[in-house]
Structure 1
Amino acid sequence: MNGHLKFGLSSSVLDEFHLDLNDGVLDGRYFIETVTVPASKSTDTLSANFLASGINYILKARGTANAGDNIEFDAKYSFRTGSSVTWTDSVSNYEGYGPTLLDLFYNGSTPWGVFNFSHEYEAAVTGTGAIASFRIYDVYYPNNTGNLYVDIYAEL
């Protein structure tokens, strides 16, 4: 196994290949953990693992949850049955609360990009040596149900 190191490589190519293939997909990344973010929780949900300083990670937010009042939302967009025509960044009938209402925050930001019908979004981040924190922003949590999920991958 250490033969790769003899040829000037900083790590074993074979070790990285095995890490990459652990999730069944050869894509240059390996799975670290899934963080379940409850829609009804008003405080941060933390990753179990530290994101090592200087290492590149991919955060994959996925799923939808409900906020009461016929509102379904994902990491960045929402749809309100009865008043929405399409998924939007502002919650229909609640625009006064701003475009981040019901957004999934990662360490204080919402890096999720343009709407995706599969409700899956990826964001590239660099580790800072700290635990990642996630929270869904809302003004009233008791009527929220369900969870959003964030899969954390390290890039090779």
Structure 2
Amino acid sequence: MRIVVQRCKQAKVTISGDTVGSIEQGLVLLVGITHEDAERDAAYLADKIAGLRIFEDGEGKMNLSIADIGGAVLSVSQFTLYGDCRKGKRPSFTNAARPEVAEPLYDRFNELLRQKGLVVETGRFGADMDVEFTNWGPVTLIVEHPFA
């Protein structure tokens, strides 16, 4: 699994003009899943992200987690994170898991975050979505498991 983690001041995802997920300060997660991913990868990354200390404390140091600040998560499935652009000019997406594999694992990942006490909003798997947010910092990280 590959996840782009972006700290945000606010975020929302809309489909055909209708808001389907919205948060105030917290994290926007773009979640990519490949063929070999399993629940152990989702569990590792849910734990990693829930504890990731990327919010500033009173001294201005990145020392607080999403739970520490009472923030929320907007999680969006993103198969293009496994796009391969090494050959030609058109990306290949053969490394992205098929929807019948990716969707249940994506749902499980979000459930694992909720089990850690986080508020999790989502887009809609496989839909054409508009994602809007204010990247706070900006802070953007890529976390993966297994490690690339």
User: Under a length normalisation based on structure 2, what TM-score does the superposition of the two structures give?
Assistant: 0.30
Higher Cα radius of gyration: 1
Q: Which has the higher helix share?
A: 2
User: Under a length normalisation based on structure 1, what TM-score does the superposition of the two structures give?
Assistant: 0.29
